[in-house]
Amino acid sequence: MAQRLRRYGRTLLSFWATSLEAELEYQLNLVIELLAVLGNLAGSLFVLVLLAGPSGQLGGWSWNSALVVLGIYTLLDGFTSCVLQPNLSKIVSHVQNGTLDFVLLKPIDSQFWLSTRSFSPWGLPGVIAGLALIGWALVHNGEALSAGGMALAVALLVAGGLILYSLWFLLAGLSIWFVKVWNATEVLRYTLVAGRYPISAYPPALRLVFTLVLPVAFLTTVPAEALLGRASAAWALGSLAAAAISLVGTRLFWQFALRHYTSASS
């Protein structure tokens, strides 16, 4: 087992090293991505100011705590650009062109290969900006976080990341049956924008949708509450359970999908 883990770790390193080399050919992209992240952040802050109005509150969240939510959104968006988008959006073309066959023949887990083969450094500005915003907002919020609280917050952030990954993988994997849904992940990306604001800013019916159907609440609001030191046991457990279920779910889904994969007809 340990040997297997080491082998996968080494593979991951060489995957990402080669992608970095390839991507660094396009250095102008760094400038563009930096500008895009800063522009998007400035715009989001501007809209947040408008929404909060003179009261400085949104859905019962103070200005600084709403900033934590926005920071987590920015962080997860960067994560999406770094790992999820460059990998999972390619599953469709693998199915379409029949190159999935080559992936399946490799002596490595196909889900692992498909999920980690590429790494795009252009999401890193978003990750850094998100972390900076979270840090800034937490310092200005003025409440010291205990070590246990911090550990819980990190665990919930990881759970959020895993839920996000599972959603992406599920939608991208559907292309095994429906090649035409290649842009389903774009729909996901545009609806997850709802995670920019705390879940309580939405009307009750939508809160339900954003918790059960499209788990935006687990992605940003729940980790933000933990970071602010007011995590509720029920939500934290719910989030961890949702992450575990969705991860096992993607595994079963992928095994099921592969049984239905018949390669591209030529």
Partner 1 sequence: MAHRNGLKPVERALRIAAALLSSQYAYMLEYRAEIALWALSGVLPLIMLAVWQGSAGAAAAGLNPQGLGRYFLAAFVVRQFSVVWLIHVFEEDALQGKLSPQLLQPLQPLWRYLAAHVAEQATRVPFVALMLAAVLVLKPGLLWLPSAGQLLLGIVAIQAAFVLRFLLQTLVAMLCFWSERAAALDRLLLIPYLFLSGLVAPLESFPPAVRRLAECTPFPAMVSFPAKLLAGESVDVAGGFLNLALWCAVLFPLSRLLWQAGVRRYSAMGA
| Interacting residue ranges for partner 1, rule: CB under 8 A | 26, 28-29, 32-33, 35-36, 39-40, 43, 46-47, 49-55, 57-59, 178, 180-184, 186-187, 189-191, 193-194, 197, 201-203, 205-206
State in angstroms the smallest separation of the CB of 172 from partner 1. Answer: 13
State in angstroms the smallest separation of the CB of 210 from partner 1. Answer: 10
Task: Compute CA 257 distance to the chain's CA centroid, rounded to the nearest angstrom.
Answer: 23
98: helix, strand or coil: coil
Considering only CA atoms, which of 13, 11, 9 is closest in space to residue 21? 13
State in angstroms the smallest separation of the CB of 163 from partner 1. Answer: 19
State in angstroms the smallest separation of the CB of 96 from partner 1. Answer: 13
Nearer Cβ to partner 1, position 112 or 202?
202
Nearer Cβ to partner 1, position 148 or 204?
204
**Terminal CA-to-CA distance of the chain, rounded, Å?**
40
Residue pointed to by tokens 């290649």: 182
Nearer Cβ to partner 1, position 133 or 159?
133
State in angstroms the smallest separation of the CB of 39 from partner 1. Answer: 4
Nearer Cβ to partner 1, position 5 or 31?
31
Q: How far apart are CA 194 and CA 4, in angstroms?
A: 39
Q: How far apart are CA 221 and CA 198, in angstroms?
A: 5
Cβ proximity of 130 and 96 under 8 Å: no
State in angstroms the smallest separation of the CB of 42 from partner 1. Answer: 8
Helix or strand run (H / E) with residue 61: strand 61-62
Which CA distances in Å does 67 have to 42, 89, 144, 221, 241? 12, 30, 17, 11, 26
Nearer Cβ to partner 1, position 114 or 194?
194
Nearer Cβ to partner 1, position 180 or 260?
180
